[in-house]
Structure 1
Amino acid sequence: MQNANLHTIKAKQQFGRFSGGSHRPLMAMVEVTNRCNMTCPLCFTSANNVAEEVSLDEVKTRLENLLAVAGTIPVQISGGEPTLHQDLPAIIDYSRQLGFTNIELVTNGIRLSREKDYLSRLVEQGLTSVYLQFDGLEKNTYETIRGQDMTEVREKSIAAIRSEQLCCTLAIAVTPGVNDHELGNIVRFGITNIDTVRAINFQSAARFTGRFEINESCTGYPLSSLIQLIEAQSHIEEGGFSSDILGHPQCNAMSLVYIIDGALKPLFKYLADDRLMNYLGKDKRTKILDLFSGRDRFYRKYLADPKAWKLLIEAAAIFGNRPSLTSILSARHILLFAKSFMEKDTLQPDRVEQCNYAIAKTDGVYSFCAYNNL
């Protein structure tokens, strides 16, 4: 038994570990606590099973490890529920001091919905966005996945985010037979609240080493099936998601969707794959990070590039007949992501090697799927 445990520890220390160099993640999570104010039937981290608080010094070490391996990529402050950590403002401030400019809070929204000035304090320290747990619009969805009705909390959380003029990403744990019929309504909700909702991330529910107390026979969606659900329910033209620009093509897909006269027009549908990849080129990672940082920064940096203009001309049909530059730059859009996590039985080394989503720990930076399955 001891040898088996040592083998497991050694494997976990090496498998999926980022070492810097040419392959670095595009985004990383830093867990600051395992405490939570909920006990969700579906929880990737099995939060609250062990009431573990990560010290401020240890969190700083994790952030420093991330900086050394990946640079100042977007960082998500997570848990458990990170708003329970008494040093969260200091954690955000230290992230900013290290040079991280895209600092996102991963939260269930309870504290944001109840304490009027709490989010303001975090923004003052450098918080730039919120990643809000948002599994649907129906009461039954939350009672099944979260163990309680969270619809009012979600509404108040978004109102708090809006009041701080922040943007947020809605995070959906897509669970077969529970909320997989709500994906279109969630997209429409995001568009209605597009002043605050920048993106929606549809994540296929996964077991990992956490809690999965919904249905033993329930399995998550493969990426292709998840994309088909999103497109069909949202009335988005097929072929608008690209899975070639975010790590392994079976892991992630992204669609930049414009809202034109009430219709949803996916940009990648109008661009040839080879031209898009040619434009991204060797700077693909940098361009994607700039896109994550916001449309204004992306446009300012790349509109002077002749290749970018060629792509805009190719996609001009989205914007109607003879669109003006102003109409193109001011068109409303939303980012849609689809994510299919690997579970222990489906863990594939080639997917791990191309992983773009990391978790920063005290002893290193790891592929999220690899770390949570070993």
Structure 2
Amino acid sequence: MKKIINETQSLCPECLKKIPARHIEEDKRVFLEKECPEHGTYRVLVWSDAAQYREWMEQSVHAEPCRNGSEMEKDCPFDCGLCRGHEGKTCTAVLEITYRCNMECEVCFADTKKARYEPGLTEIQRMYEAAYRNGGDCSIQLSGGEPTVRKDLPEILGMGKRMGFSHIQVNTNGIRIAEDPDYLRELKAAGADLIYLQFDSLRDQVYRKVRGKNMLDIKLQAVSNCERAGIGVMLVPVLVKGLNDGEVGDLIAYAKKHMPIVKGVHFQPISYFGRYPNDQGSLIWDRMNLSDVIACLTGQTGGEMKAEDFVPRKRYDSHCAFSALYYLEEDGGLKPVTKHMQNKEVPEGTDFARKANAFTNKHWKLQDEEALPLGKSSRAGETRPGRKSMKEFIRRLKNYTLSVSGMGFQDAYNIDIGRLKGCCVHVITYDGQAVPLCAFHLTSLKGERLYKNE
């Protein structure tokens, strides 16, 4: 029996026109249903646990609208700037500084085969300025394409630091930093706070399927070089049901082993946009969602992680993302710092972007290189002999936390306009506009884009 949960708006995957949509509960799962007058009905699974979906709804609140946003002419999602219909500020600004890449992955947001333009330093400065205008000292992610193909990446990092950004990530496939440790140290010296490392698996057969070639040795060497250079790493696996969703527990175990350099694991269920082929038949039942990721985390970590550890996003919509924070105890076990219901204690009017950035600054980068000898005593479960002083304990507590999070990007099938209006991860375009990441990369069945960075 179907139960309507809420009414919203979405887009037709064929023509990208805005159409009515609704979330419905059926067989204890949640689907998004919508109908285009021209192209027919679409139905996609968005959450595998309806009870959890409803519970998370209770923690979701709206942020303040963008009072200084641009005027709306065509309505959301066609007027991003940000427009006045958007809620809240930028928490993470993605600067796509190139569309060149040293790989051609089947799974990729960017249209690197078609895009040719690359911004100069003057344009990148304007992008930084737009990020600050929309989010203040927000987290910056230098992305692409592959940002390490630019010879002036250290200069771009230095520019961001001089402009006052306290947290700058480099989003990379790891090839360059695995091959050239001196280059990695140069990035760190220039201002890189975190390596946001594509890390899908501990098996080469997964990389061959998703990335087109063996990559495991490159990934392991990249992490090893980060250990030697003393720069934090966020592992970022794209999860595909039936391919690598059975490795979630192994990825957590690997992260534990390489703390404190590995600061966390950020899971991303695969989305159907960019280069990845759209297959409506597989989307209804087989696509992975965030409730599936949590089920994998709780089911593959031997009881170490529990559903009540994971905190849904407070800012509307709560189903956009989740996070949990763990402390690595001396015996190698993870102790949860977060609890599921803690967001109910967050008062109305909270500056969610500032709160998110404070968390990133504290937990998404290496705090103290001298905490323990890197690459040696930094392994899970290894301890120094004798009783620790309070100073040593505080140092360990400061450094040995692991962030475990997930974000489900929207595509033309499951996009919810209401949720999009609350997005705080924004691509900063070359002309200084801020566009929610899901809208920026969204493509129709024919590969047509809503936005182009040209």
Normalised by the size of structure 1, how large is the TM-score?
0.82
Q: Could you tell me how far 1:110 is from its partner in structure 2?
A: 0.5
Q: Could you tell me how far 1:10 is from its partner in structure 2?
A: 5.8
Aligned match for 1:190, one of 247, 252, 255? 255
Q: Could you tell me how far 1:277 is from its partner in structure 2?
A: 2.2
For 2:140, give the aligned amino acid.
V
SS in 2 for 1:43: coil
Report the CA distance shift for 1:176/1:216 in structure 2 as closer, same or farther (over 3 A): farther
- Find the counterpart in structure 2 of residue 18 from structure 1: 82
- Decide which structure has the larger Cα Rg and report it: 2
Q: Give the Cα separation in 1 of the matches to 2:130 and 2:272.
A: 27
Q: Give the Cα separation in 2 of the matches to 1:45 and 1:296.
A: 24
Higher helix content, 1 or 2:
1
2:431 matches 1:370 = no
Q: Give the Cα separation in 2 of the matches to 1:267 and 1:186.
A: 20
2:228 matches 1:163 = yes
Q: Could you tell me how far 1:55 is from its partner in structure 2?
A: 2.2
Q: Give the Cα separation in 2 of the matches to 1:105 and 1:181.
A: 28
Q: CA RMSD in A?
A: 3.0
Aligned match for 2:237, one of 172, 176, 201? 172
Normalised by the size of structure 2, how large is the TM-score?
0.69
2:155 matches 1:90 = yes
* Structure 2 gaps, min length 5: 1-14, 19-72, 368-389, 443-449
Deviation per CA, 1:330-359, whole angstroms, max 9, x where unpaired? 343200111111111221121111112111
- Find the counterpart in structure 2 of residue 321 from structure 1: none
Aligned match for 1:287, one of 355, 359, 367? 355
Q: Compare 132-141 and 220-229 and name the one that shifted more.
A: 220-229
SS in 1 for 2:350: helix
SS in 2 for 1:268: coil
Q: Give the Cα separation in 2 of the matches to 1:169 and 1:75.
A: 14
Would the aligned equivalents of 1:41 and 1:214 in 2 still touch at CA under 8 Å? no
Aligned match for 1:330, one of 393, 396, 406? 396
- Find the counterpart in structure 2 of residue 181 from structure 1: 246
Would the aligned equivalents of 2:99 and 2:117 in 1 still touch at CA under 8 Å? yes
Report the CA distance shift for 1:295/1:130 in structure 2 as closer, same or farther (over 3 A): closer
SS in 2 for 1:371: helix
Q: Could you tell me how far 1:88 is from its partner in structure 2?
A: 1.3
SS in 1 for 2:312: coil
- Find the counterpart in structure 2 of residue 307 from structure 1: none
The percent identity for this pair of structures is 26
Q: Give the Cα separation in 1 of the matches to 2:241 and 2:363.
A: 33
Q: Could you tell me how far 1:24 is from its partner in structure 2?
A: 0.5
Aligned match for 2:336, one of 257, 261, 266? 266
For 1:41, give the aligned amino acid.
E
For 1:68, give the aligned amino acid.
R
SS in 2 for 1:46: coil
Q: Give the Cα separation in 2 of the matches to 1:362 and 1:339.
A: 25
Q: Could you tell me how far 1:188 is from its partner in structure 2?
A: 0.6
2:103 matches 1:38 = yes
Q: Could you tell me how far 1:361 is from its partner in structure 2?
A: 0.6
Would the aligned equivalents of 2:89 and 2:424 in 1 still touch at CA under 8 Å? yes
* Structure 1 gaps, min length 5: 300-323
1:162-311 matched pairs, under 5 angstroms: 162-208=227-273, 210-213=274-277, 217-219=281-283, 220-235=287-302, 236-245=305-314, 247-260=316-329, 261-269=331-339, 272-273=341-342, 276-278=345-347, 282-295=350-363
SS in 2 for 1:137: coil
